[in-house]
């Protein structure tokens, strides 16, 4: 079996990710699962997500809603404590250049869009809920125009750098990644929060599609002994 936790696995955090996996591995083995010694790290997480050997993986809600639908099974959603997170949910921050005061998170599940989004958006990839789709859906609901131009960067970290370098006016970054960036990415110090997207389901934990309902229940129980999780119904926006 294999496992991967790729979504917040920045190089500076890999020791912590490995330590988390060690605790999860031991809990899963105690529950009778053949948990691997170490995490699988790959440049293309789809190889991990779609593996028949996947015991536990971490994905985004949009792939689970689309390319992974019917091909994997949902386990649970971790609960994070970053500003903008709820019980298995998150908002994305909208960041722009400058050292102004950060806009506080919305008091409810709605979006808090700034008056101006600028002409160019830096976004990690078209299939990212937190970096692109959430903002696009919020703009559509608010009858607002998206920025006319998009710089596709490949990662949230690269989007932060693109805005700081003046290549884009704004970026949407999930609030957990933004907290990480403020610790590990110098370019984040050149930006401030100007708005927030609406609340979305957090990054789900998944397993391979052959797992039975009994397996899923045991996976959930084991994971919950290590980290706070909730079971969302549904675990995606749609």
What would the pLDDT profile of 85-127 be if each residue is shown by its tens digit? 999 999 999 999 999 999 999 999 999 999 999 999 999 999 9
Q: Quick one: DSSP state of residue 38?
A: S
Confirm whether 113 is domain-assigned.
yes
Q: Do 113 and 66 lie in a common domain?
A: no
* Residue 183 backbone dihedrals phi, psi, to 5 degrees: -95, -40
Confirm whether 93 is domain-assigned.
yes
Domain with 224 in it:
2-80+202-230
Q: What is the CATH number of the domain that holds 182?
A: 3.40.190.10
Q: What is the pTM of this model?
A: 0.96
Q: Do 32 and 131 lie in a common domain?
A: no
Structural contact between residues 95 and 173, judged by C-beta atoms closer than 8 angstroms: yes
Confidence of residue 43 (pLDDT cuts 50, 70, 90): confident
Q: Do 148 and 158 lie in a common domain?
A: yes
Report helix, strand or coil for 186. Answer: helix
What pLDDT score was predicted for residue 45?
Answer: 94
Structural contact between residues 39 and 21, judged by C-beta atoms closer than 8 angstroms: yes
Alpha-carbon Rg for the chain in angstroms:
18
Q: Do 61 and 156 lie in a common domain?
A: no
Q: Do 121 and 216 lie in a common domain?
A: no
Q: Do 119 and 213 lie in a common domain?
A: no
Q: Which residues contact 139 (CB under 8 A, 6 or more apart)?
A: 113, 117, 145, 146
Strands 170-174 and 120-123, sheet pairing: parallel
Instruction: Tell me the HSE value of 116 on the side-chain side, using a 13 A CA sphere.
Output: 6
Distance in angstroms (rounded) separating the CA atoms of residues 230 and 60 = 15
Only one residue has tokens 């993986």, namely 57
Q: What is the CATH number of the domain that holds 35?
A: 3.40.190
Question: Is pLDDT above 70 for 132?
Answer: yes
| pLDDT mean over 142-159 | 98
Q: Do 96 and 193 lie in a common domain?
A: yes
Q: Quick one: DSSP state of residue 190?
A: G
Structural contact between residues 103 and 196, judged by C-beta atoms closer than 8 angstroms: yes
Q: Do 99 and 162 lie in a common domain?
A: yes
Question: Is pLDDT above 80 for 212?
Answer: yes
CB atoms within 10 A of CB 35: 21
Q: Quick one: DSSP state of residue 135?
A: H
What would the pLDDT profile of 187-198 be if each residue is shown by its tens digit? 999 999 999 999
Residue environment code for 192-220, b if the CB has 16+ CB neighbours within 10 A, otherwise e: bbbbbbbbbbbbbbbbbeebeeebbebbb
Question: Is pLDDT above 70 for 71?
Answer: yes
Q: How many domains does the chain have?
A: 2
């Amino acid at each position: 079996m294999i496992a991967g936790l790729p979504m917040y696995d920045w190089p500076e955090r890999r020791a912590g990710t490995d330590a988390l996996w060690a605790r999860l591995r031991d809990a899963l083995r105690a529950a009778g699962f053949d948990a691997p010694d170490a995490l699988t790290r790959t440049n293309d997480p789809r190889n991990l997500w779609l593996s028949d050997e996947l015991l536990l993986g971490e994905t985004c809600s949009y792939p689970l809603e689309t390319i992974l639908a019917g091909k994997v099974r949902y386990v649970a959603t971790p609960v994070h404590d970053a500003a903008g997170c709820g019980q298995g949910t998150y908002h994305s921050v909208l960041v722009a250049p400058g050292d102004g005061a950060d806009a506080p998170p919305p008091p409810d599940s709605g979006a808090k869009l700034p008056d101006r989004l600028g002409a160019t958006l830096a976004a990690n990839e078209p299939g990212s809920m937190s970096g692109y789709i959430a903002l696009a859906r919020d703009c559509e609901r608010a009858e607002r125009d998206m920025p006319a131009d998009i710089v596709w960067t490949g990662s949230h970290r690269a989007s932060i750098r693109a805005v700081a370098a003046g290549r884009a006016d704004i970026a949407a970054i999930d609030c957990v990644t933004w907290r990480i960036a403020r610790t590990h990415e110098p370019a984040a110090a050149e930006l401030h929060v100007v708005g927030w997207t609406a609340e979305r389901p957090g990054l789900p934990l998944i397993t391979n599609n052959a797992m039975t309902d009994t397996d899923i229940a045991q996976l959930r129980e084991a994971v919950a002994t290590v980290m706070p999780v909730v079971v969302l119904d549904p675990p995606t926006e749609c």
